[in-house]
Structures are given as structure tokens and as C-alpha cells.
Amino acid sequence: MPLPALSLLPRPVHQKPGGGRFTITAATTLSFAPGLESVAAWLQGAVRPATGFSLMADGDPGDISLLLDPGLGGEEYVLDASPGRVEVRGGDAAGVFYGCQSLLQLLPPAIYRAAPVAGVRWEVPCGTVSDKPRFGWRGTMLDVARQFLPKREILRFIDLMSAHKLNTLHLHLTDDQGWRVEILRYPKLTEISSWRLETQLGAGADAPLDGRPHGGFYTQDDLREIVAYAAARFITVVPEIESPGHVQAVLAAYPELGVHGPGLEVDTRWGINYNVLNAEESTVNFFINVLDEVMDIFPANWIGIGGDECPRDQWLADPRSRERAAELGLARVEDLQNWFIGRLDQHVSGRGRRIFGWDEILEGEISPTATVASWRGMTGALTAARRGHDVVSCPDHLAYFDYRQSEMATEPIPVAIPLDVAGVYSFEPVPEGLDAGLAHHVLGGQANIWTEYIDSPRTLDYMAFPRLCAMAEVLWGPAEKDLESFLLRLQAHLPRLEALGVEYRRESGPFPWQQRPGIKGRPSTPEERAAHIAEITANIRD
Ligand code: ACM
């Protein structure tokens, strides 16, 4: 079947091919309305490397003109290409930016190369595209705690997200195995918590360790740079600081914050960790001070406070934790988790921001503004929206990109159930059974890229692409699915990824990974996964 004339990915709301072609040459000029200076500069920067052309701002209107149109909504755009002229109109600067991203996709894939390409005619097929996103939260979570990802790789990933019209980067900055954000008040978080002695290879408690220290962190200046770089591409960076579980890295540096006491190292193994925070006032204050510095770095409305997978065993076994629960008037020692999240919620809300937490936070009282990431299937999404909370849907079986992509032995260390491109494409962020009147609570969704088994940028590319292309279409494109059209446009899109140097997973191989002898994965069947999720969501009440 021939490729559609306008092979845009994600699929636009409406497109009408016209006749003829618009050609970009060294003489092509660009004009732009006030307020669009940075979008224009971005477009010039995006076109110059491969074409060698500058898109001079010389005369108004230019051959390509960028305009604001008050008749369009936020993020909405209309791209009109005729043989003599291209016009991109947006409801706001973000809309114009997305129109420019579509314009790049209409050019030959070589436009994404980083140095001049000879012999290419830089032609755009004429036509009109009218487009706007379905959801406002089109996200990706990057777990930079399990494996440190150098800053330049995050910047590159931001560019790749923006090429797919994604707009939210959730940075998972802390976990048992590493702390990645400089906190000026607590220097041991970077001196000690951001390094671990070695890393578990593969899955299972008996998995071998590699004997190689691993670590790294981002300075506050690095993070401000990431935030600004993302903002220039209309991407919001939502930081996440885990608590009251997933904190062993903190406890290695500040053992007074934990129930365990001294003697813990930054964790070298994967899995749910039993070492949790204690419930002292000084511990809450430590995390409030951390969040204050984090909120100074990240202007996002949302601040992630974690909240997932906090085993209660240590609190139950610890006399001081039991005493503290009684002091606080809690009905059960287990409620220390909800109390802790509630305290952080009060503080973050008091500063005019909103907490963003995993769906376990539904077990306690949370502010009306608290936003819930539904990860244990869609149960949390349904419950949260019914209780009036905003929701970001990221059910593990459709949105976890650490999950293996096939049953083949050539996948990198395979975990969990298979999730392929078509599986991601089938994802519907609005939970079944939700009243239409509550659907506005579903802000959108995100792919979660956990990195226990993703130890290099190359593996990250392989796990992220092209599944992230499918996620982008789910979150941007119209609700009606058209897998055949998507797969066809994906064929046209893969050469763009190739030009960008993305090491995406090719259906037909070659597969760069051969499993190393002695290193096990953790594959499971859909039935095993369903049973596990049913067990761990038992606490979510309707
Ligand atoms: C999670 O996967 N623990 C949010």
C-alpha cells in the first residue's frame, strides 16, 4: 500500500492533501509574529544543519510565516502549504511549535541529519493540516535513579519527545539505588547517596553483581538547564522525590531518617526494599527542605512525591514507630505512610503546587489538587477520577517500557509480560466505566521507562522506540484508533528516527543483545501479572 501523502506521526485531527510542492532553498525567507521569536529561532536551528539554509528573516510575510491565531485553542495549529508559501498558525506559541514539528515531518527524513546532505530536494507536499492534541499530559517518565543518564542524553531525549509532540518529562530522580539531584542543604545526598558500589545484573535475589561502582548526579545548574531546554520545546519537567519508601540511598547518607539505623549502603539490588523512613518530625522537615530546593529549581505545577511500594514491616516491628503512630492518633501503624504523604502534600500545596504521586496515595487523605499516576492497571485511574482527582494513566501492562517486547531470547534482559508497539497503541487513557462527566479528570498518560535493566543510552533507545511513537499517537491523536494507518505512517517515520540516530528496535532485527550466560530475566505470563496486580491493588477502595 502506498504511504499517505502526509505521513504525520502522531496522526493529526484533520489533513487535506493539496496539489504541488513547496521547496525550501537558500533563498527561502521566514517571518514570525511577535511572541514567536524563540519558535522561529528553533525552526531555523532545526532546518539549518541538514540543508545548510538559514531561513532568513527578510520581509513580511516570508515564504514561511509563523502566526498566532486567536481563533485557535492552546496547542492547536493549522499548517497550510501551497507551492508559493507555507503558513503555520497556532492558538499559542506551543501550537505554532507543533505546526513547525509537522512541517519538519513533511520534509524528507534527511532533514533530521546533523550536517548538510547533498542531492536532496527539500520539498514539502502541499496541503492543509488542522490539528490539536486530545490530552494535555503527554508524558514520559525517565528513571534516572536506577541508572544515571548523563545530562546530554536527557537533552537528546527531550528533543526526541518534542519531535513526537510529547509535553511532559517526569524525572524519577531518587530511589533506593541512587539520588541524582544536588541539594545544597544536604551535601551527603550527592557525596554518598548518588553512588553505589556495584549493580545487580539481571533479576532475582541470587543475581550476580558486576563489581563496578556506578553513580552520578545533576547539579542545580544542570537541572535548570534541562528545565529551560525542555521549556523551549514546550515540555514541562516534573521532578519526583520518592518517599517514604524507595529511600535506601538517602538512608545510606542520613541513617537518622530511617527505622533501620546505621549500616545501610546505597542499594545494589533491584526489587521492593523494606528500609523506609521513620516518622519523626525531623524526617518530615528534611524532606520538606529537600522539596523546597526542588520547587526552586522546577517551576512545574506538579511535584512528584512518590508514595509507591512502601512496605509497612519495619514500622510494625519497631516500638518507636508504633509509639509515634499512637502519638499522632493514627488508627493503624500502617497509616504512617498516608500521614507522611499528607504532610508533604500540605507543604507542597501551601506553596501553590500540586503533588503528583503513584496510585498508592489514594489509600490516604490527599488534597483535591493531588494528581494520581495510575500504574497498577487502571483501577487507580477510575477510583481517583471518581473521587475528583486528576489522573495520569500509565497502567503497567500498556505503558511500562521496561517490559520485554517479545518472547524472543534476543531481547535485552527480559522482564514482565510482552508489550509490543501494537499493545501500546491499544492503550486507552480514560478508564472503562468512568462517567463521561468525569473524563476531564484524565489529564492524559505517560510511558514509564524504568531502568533497572536499561543500562545504556543505546538500550534506552531500543526500549523506548518505536513504542514511544505509539504512545505519542495515543496521547495526541484522535480517540478513534486506526492501527493500520499508524503502522503505515510508522514505516514513513522510522527513516526519521534513523536520521536522528535513534537505535530503535527493528521488527526484523538485527538484535544487538544476546543474553549473557548466567544472567536471568524475570519474564512472566499475563495471568501471573494479572494475579499480582489484583493482590497489590486490594487496598484501593472504590
Ligand atoms: C512503580 O512501578 N513502582 C510505580
Q: Which residue owns the Cα nearest ligand 1 atom 3?
A: 308
pLDDT in tens, 337-388: 999 999 999 999 999 999 999 999 999 999 999 999 999 999 999 999 999 9
Predicted confidence at residue 510, as pLDDT, reads: 79
Pocket residue to mutate for ligand 1, from 308, 379, 393, 533, most atoms within 8 A of Cβ: 308
Is 80 one of the annotated active-site residues of the chain?
A: no
465 lines ligand 1 (CB under 6 A): no
Q: Which residue owns the Cα nearest ligand 1 atom 2?
A: 375
Report whether pLDDT(198) > 50: yes
Query: Grid coordinates standing for 36?
Result: 514567536
Q: How far apart are CA 167 and CA 184, in angstroms?
A: 29
Report whether pLDDT(458) > 60: yes
pLDDT in tens, 278-292: 999 999 999 999 999
Q: How far apart are CA 315 and CA 278, in angstroms?
A: 8
Q: How far apart are CA 383 and CA 372, in angstroms?
A: 10
Predicted confidence at residue 542, as pLDDT, reads: 55
Predicted confidence at residue 1, as pLDDT, reads: 47
Q: How far apart are CA 124 and CA 116, in angstroms?
A: 18
Report whether pLDDT(206) > 60: yes
Report whether pLDDT(2) > 70: no
Query: Grid coordinates standing for 302?
Result: 506538579
Q: Find cell 541538514 and name the residue.
A: 50
State the closest ligand 1 atom to the C-alpha of 450, by its place in the atom list counted from 1.
2
> Residue 238: phi, psi to the nearest 5?
-105, 115
pLDDT in tens, 405-457: 999 888 899 999 999 999 999 999 999 999 999 999 999 999 999 999 999 99
Distance from the CA of 362 to the center of ligand 1, in angstroms? 14
Q: How far apart are CA 55 and CA 62, in angstroms?
A: 9
Residue burial 129-159, b: 16+ Cβ < 10 Å; e: rest: bbbbbbbebbbbbbbbbbbbbebebbebbbe
Going by C-alpha positions, the residue among 363, 367, 304 that lies closest to residue 338 is 363
- Spatial contact of 456 and 500, defined as CB atoms under 8 Å apart: no
4 pLDDT band, cuts 50/70/90, is low
Predicted confidence at residue 517, as pLDDT, reads: 80
Q: Which residue owns the Cα nearest ligand 1 atom 1?
A: 308
Predicted confidence at residue 541, as pLDDT, reads: 59
pLDDT in tens, 80-94: 999 999 999 999 999
Q: How far apart are CA 6 and CA 4, in angstroms?
A: 5
Distance from the CA of 161 to the center of ligand 1, in angstroms? 22
Is 267 one of the annotated active-site residues of the chain?
A: no
- Spatial contact of 457 and 151, defined as CB atoms under 8 Å apart: no
Distance from the CA of 98 to the center of ligand 1, in angstroms? 31
143 lines ligand 1 (CB under 6 A): no
pLDDT in tens, 416-426: 999 999 999 99
Pocket residue to mutate for ligand 1, from 170, 242, 272, 309, most atoms within 8 A of Cβ: 309
Angle at 165 between CA 161 and CA 170, to 5 degrees: 50
Q: Percentage of the chain surpassing pLDDT 90? A: 94
Catalytic residue (choose from 80, 176, 240, 309): 309
271 lines ligand 1 (CB under 6 A): no
Distance from the CA of 332 to the center of ligand 1, in angstroms? 24
Predicted confidence at residue 347, as pLDDT, reads: 98
Distance from the CA of 74 to the center of ligand 1, in angstroms? 32
Angle at 354 between CA 352 and CA 357, to 5 degrees: 155
Is 246 one of the annotated active-site residues of the chain?
A: yes
Angle at 135 between CA 76 and CA 363, to 5 degrees: 155
Q: How much is the average pLDDT of 106-131? A: 98
Pocket residue to mutate for ligand 1, from 141, 358, 537, most atoms within 8 A of Cβ: 358
Question: DSSP H helical segments within 298-335, as ranges?
Answer: 313-317, 319-327
Instruction: List, in sequence order, every residue forming a beta bridge with 128; answer none if it has no partner.
Output: 16, 80
Query: Grid coordinates standing for 261?
Result: 539505623
User: In order of start, what are the domains of the chain with their CATH numbers?
Assistant: 14-131 (3.30.379.10), 137-481 (3.20.20.80)
Report whether pLDDT(235) > 50: yes
Catalytic residue (choose from 214, 246, 397, 493): 246
Q: How far apart are CA 435 and CA 441, in angstroms?
A: 11
